[in-house]
């Protein structure tokens, strides 16, 4: 079936290719607008891990931002806009505020932050930060979207409440109405457990038992027998719901429970903004482009940072301006629609700056469902069945 190799014709084709690409350069517009974006993160201490299967990824987030810049510039070159990304990584023992003052303050309008909730909280109220638009691609805290919300911050990762609602919708559909909630002892685990309790109440599901996993995390000791004993309950339950964000014990639960029950939550079937098993709605294309660039799978923070940079691109391209107030107004308007490879157009909730988006429910090697689950209805958009809807929101920045 292969045609015989014909050398001269290959050379001709190659020449044509070069001419072709060179030729279409003339279709590009002259650069008349430069949009500078800063990306701020801090080096992370490698956390303890259960296994070597998933190597620690140092550059989660930033490669997504870089891919976003590539895509912005592809559009930009046709209409005379140029997007630049400055990547700033603060060393582990460095001071974020100091780095911000020195390298970012007064130099940038757009700042993508991949920081912890406490670091982000310190940063957002700085007078210089108040004059910028911050794109949070690192936190999932509901407090930052409610009581502690700030009008200069947009959030790209789904909050814990959104994730818990996504899981609860799926469990409701499966009629797994009786939950056994297992919670780790870290602060984040408690926050996620609270989100799960909120969802259970919201969707009328019952938590028949709740236990804290405070055993030793050493697998060589009695993990297997521990889980068996730990999961013996007086009341029967349909599903074990786990809150272990760091992954310190959750992986031990599946297949080891006293009675055979599925595991869902932070392990087993998990809720996430992005997953390597996701291929629908053109996702395979961005998975391929990302892997080619990063030589690894796209993580949630990469996806969030990609969307943040693309949101800046989309808004500045559509408004044909780099004026921050106009760009922000457009982003929060009904006209804004960001393509996020998850079927629905993505947009921001005007009441708390959260990006509304579908949430993937994924097992390690299989995409199980995409929330909002069919049948959960909303008068405006079904995406707002996930997380804090406008009437429930505690964010007051609209009334500032």
Using CB under 8 A as the criterion, which residues of the chain lie in contact with other proteins when the complex forms?
Answer: 1, 3, 9, 13, 16-17, 19-21, 23-24, 26-27, 70-71, 74-75, 78-79, 282, 285, 288-289, 314, 317-318, 337-339, 343-345, 378, 380-383
354: DSSP letter: B
What does each C-alpha distance from 201 to 166, 168, 190, 207 come to in angstroms? 14, 10, 16, 9
Q: Which of 93, 144, 75, 126 is nearest to 312 (CA)?
A: 75
Least distance from other proteins to the Cβ atom of residue 68, Å: 10
SS3 376: coil
| Cβ distance to other proteins smaller for residue 27 or 53 | 27
- C-beta closer to other proteins: residue 259 or 337: 337
Q: Which is nearer to other proteins, 95 or 366 (CB)?
A: 366
Up-side HSE of residue 141: CA atoms within 13 Å toward CB?
A: 18
Q: How far is the CB of 317 from other proteins (least distance, A)?
A: 7
Nearer to other proteins, 161 or 338 (CB): 338
Q: Which two tokens stand for residue 281?
A: 């709605």
Half-sphere exposure for 364 (CA within 13 Å, toward CB): 7
Least Å from the CB of residue 159 to other proteins: 20
What's the min distance (Å) between Cβ of 149 and other proteins? Answer: 24
Other CB atoms within a 10 A radius of the CB of residue 342 amount to: 21
Select 115 or 370, whichever has its Cβ closest to other proteins: 370
The smaller minimum CB distance to other proteins, of residues 220 and 295, is found at: 295
H or E element that contains 34: strand 33-42
Least CB distance to other proteins at residue 34 (A) = 19
Return the number of other C-beta atoms located less than 10 Å from residue 290's C-beta. 22
Who's near 104: CB < 8 A, 6+ residues apart?
A: 38, 40, 88, 111, 128
Could you give the CA distance from residue 150 to residue 99 in angstroms, rounded to a whole number?
Answer: 21
Q: How far is the CB of 22 from other proteins (least distance, A)?
A: 10
Q: How far is the CB of 38 from other proteins (least distance, A)?
A: 23
Which one, 242 or 294, has the nearer CB to other proteins? 294
């Amino acid at each position: 079936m292969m045609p015989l190799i014909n050398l001269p014709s290959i050379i001709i084709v190659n020449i044509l290719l070069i001419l072709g690409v060179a030729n279409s350069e003339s279709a590009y517009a002259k650069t008349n607008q430069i949009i500078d974006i800063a990306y701020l993160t801090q080096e992370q201490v490698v956390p303890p891990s259960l296994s070597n299967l998933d190597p620690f990824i140092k550059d989660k987030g930033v490669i997504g931002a870089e891919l976003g810049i590539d895509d912005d510039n592809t559009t930009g070159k046709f209409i005379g806009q140029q997007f630049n990304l400055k990547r700033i990584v603060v060393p582990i023992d460095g001071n974020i505020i100091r780095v911000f003052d020195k390298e970012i303050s007064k130099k940038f309008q757009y700042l993508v932050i991949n920081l912890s909730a406490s670091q982000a909280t310190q940063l957002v109220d700085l007078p210089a930060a108040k004059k910028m638009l911050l794109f949070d691609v690192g936190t999932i805290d509901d407090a930052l979207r409610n009581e502690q919300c700030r009008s200069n911050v947009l959030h790209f990762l789904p909050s814990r409440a959104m994730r818990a609602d996504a899981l609860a919708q799926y469990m409701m559909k499966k009629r797994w109405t009786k939950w056994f909630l297992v919670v780790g002892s870290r602060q984040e685990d408690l926050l996620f457990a609270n989100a799960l309790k909120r969802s259970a109440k919201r969707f009328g599901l019952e938590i028949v038992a709740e236990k804290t996993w405070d055993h030793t995390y050493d697998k060589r000791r009695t993990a297997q027998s521990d889980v068996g004993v730990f999961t013996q309950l007086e009341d029967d339950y349909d599903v074990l719901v786990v809150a272990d964000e760091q992954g310190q014990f959750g992986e031990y639960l599946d297949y080891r429970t006293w009675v055979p029950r599925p595991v869902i939550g932070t392990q087993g079937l998990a809720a996430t903004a992005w997953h390597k098993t996701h291929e629908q709605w053109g996702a395979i294309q961005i998975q391929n482009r990302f892997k080619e660039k990063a030589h690894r799978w796209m993580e949630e923070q990469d996806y969030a940072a990609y969307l943040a940079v693309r949101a800046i691109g989309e808004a500045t391209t559509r408004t044909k301006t780099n004026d921050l107030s106009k760009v922000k107004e457009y982003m929060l308007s009904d006209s804004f629609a960001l393509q996020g490879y998850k079927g629905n157009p993505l947009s921001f909730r005007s009441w708390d700056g959260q990006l509304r988006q579908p949430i993937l429910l994924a097992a390690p090697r299989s995409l199980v469902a995409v929330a909002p689950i069919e049948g959960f209805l909303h008068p405006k958009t079904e995406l707002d069945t996930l997380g804090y809807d406008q009437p429930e929101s505690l964010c007051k920045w609209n009334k500032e």
